[in-house]
Structure 1
Amino acid sequence: MNNILFIDSYYDCKYGAQKSMLSLAHGLSLEQVDVTVGSCKDGILLKSASDMNLDVINLETPEVLLKTRSEMKSFFYFFRYFITLLCYWYDQVKYNKLSKYNSICINDIRSFLYLLPTLIKFKGNVIWYVRINDRVPFITSIAGWITNKIVLISNDCINVFNVIEKKCFKDKIVTLHTGFEFNDVDESLVSTLNKKYNPQQDKIIYISVGSICQRKNQASIIDAFYKLNSLDVLILIGSPTTQSDYEYYLLLKKKCELLDVSHQVHFVDYTNNVLEYLSISDVFCLASKAEGLPRVLIEALYAGCFICTSNVDGVNDIIIDTKLGLISNHKASEESFDSDFLKILELSKINLNCKSHSHYRREYVQNKFSFDKFIFEFKNIFKYK
């Protein structure tokens, strides 16, 4: 592994998957591995990588290719998309800009579509770090065939493959949990946040962190919080990343107004101070419909929060006992989820009385999700390559 290029196509955000990739890239660079981070365009991701003193590459992906699947609504758009994709592929074949790397690690499924000719021709190692169980017909199968190694972020991510693919790819597949480097908490900011959200220290603070979108399902969190019928506080940290996500955000704001909880529910744009917000919080809520290994749950445990989460991929790799949190019996897409989620929020209050559990949660994260172990095991996967 002389040099490696990490690619994530989501260029203008830095949520769990992107944070984990940047953390891995930075850790490898400290181990004298030559690391570059690539994305479709300049944005938050490449700026963050550059701030870590990592080399970056803008893949200059045409804007029309960056629309989400839900935004492709007309035949004309599909035709334009297809022609643009062919031209983008032609440029890759002609210029072969990525041939200098020994390994390419792909962080998301749509990058396989964008870079298909490059990855098929690539002479080095193609690594697929599967961070979410998001199967895309045809592309998922091709990605499995052209990769040398498939790294799953959690055991549940194996289900991105069908039965035949699991058998065909079994010798390529390995599970590697994310490791964590935690910065020191800014105590002055923690004090400021406490004064803002809980000045009398008499409220339970519920929190959720993640991009504002239907997959993260913040609507169910708001509904459950309302039904608790309390005077407590809910903080929702995150920003919409697409037009459809922004429309969902407006629906969430309207829901808070209709339920008369706008004074208790606080929307906070994406921030680099997530750990400080988690440090003032008591219960972390995740109602997501799809995940890989929810990084933010590990961050919340490190901060001492009790977890209430939907039954989603990856959580069983994290929440191993009731000192850490509770998992709903139903998935967020199931009809009974909302009542189930409300029930575990009500049960969470029992665990808040035991302060020693918050120390247990931090020690658990430090032992199981060690950053040094993460870097060592990633390097070890490829030591014979």
Structure 2
Amino acid sequence: MQLPLDVEYTRPLISIQDMVNFIDKGERYLKRASEELNEEEELEFLQGIILSPDYQREYRSKAKEESSIIESIIVGIPIPEIFLVRTGSNGIQLRHVMDGQHRLTAIYRFVKDKFALTELELLKDNEDFKNKKFSQLSKEIKFRILSSHLSVLEFEAFSNDDMEIELFKRYNRNTKPLEKHEISMATFYSKTSLYITNFLNHNIENQDKDMVSKKLIKIYNVTTDRKNKQRNHQELCIIFSIINDGPNVIYKDGVEIADKYLEVQANAYKDGENSNLQQIKNKFNQFNMFIIKLSEFIEYPFSSAIFKGEDKRSVKFHTGVSMVLATIFYYFDIDMNSPFLLEEVQDIILNSPLGDETYNASSTNMRNVMNYLYIKNKVFDKEYKSMRYKGNISSDIIQVLNKNE
């Protein structure tokens, strides 16, 4: 009998030495993922393991917990099975971690001398291990660790995304439940999604020495908590969708727009299609120039302060505001040096649902936003001094909006 869904997997044993080498490949790949790679360069990353996919929560583990994992390996206690999933791209063949990220991270960190053994249970009286890093262990123990094998359940690339989502949920039930966007990130892997994560990480790392990074971290309200919960990633997915493909008036809200954007990018990646990542990056850089310009007038340009005036109580990043600004960027050629720029951006925002005090529906429903801008307030028919309408509203959007009338 042919089942409607068929999960293919193997159960290899992988030595810790090989596992560390595979993770090294994955780490090197993450640093170059946004580049165009030739065939020889792709082979360099073959079978690499992405230890910290961007959907995983920030790694948090105490030295005692990490040490316990290493102690188990030393004394021969089996480590719970590691679950890997192949990416399924026609290009680079990589694997990401579905379950076992903390175990692998602890092992990798120890072999890389990132922490010393502490609070051991079984080896607590043995001076050969107390407060010792990997490099300080005897040659025999190093060999024992590196030659130990981990049991791995390795899934082939899933042809059905729903199946991967379901498996991910099942294997992570004992951890804090992931939110919808985090699950989407677990399933819909792509270079674009990884670029967004790298953008956030790069600016966090450089905010103290680079003025642009400092501005962007503030503008996008990138905080440890919001980044760990993937709020920043989700908000950027919405912006990327609009500035690259235009407003989508089919989906009900920003959350759905972000999920569908990840899905489209992941499908292109799986099929080996060119994601036009460089073009996406260029547009995003131009968009950031526009937002940084607005930040010269409004401290937090994605907040309601941009059309209501400064208010310390307002949230620093309002998704509805970001969607209107992304829409302006998509439909208009913008003169960044015009003295009328802020005034005219404010006019468009006030002509969106955000400016209607009687509006009580979702501020991230793109159909409603476009209905206000195109049908109700005829923004695209106006003459602006700082912006020129490109005349690029698609007939599909017009047809959907006219149906609502």
TM-score, normalised with respect to structure 1: 0.25
Larger Rg: 2
Where is the strand percentage greater, Structure 1 or Structure 2?
1
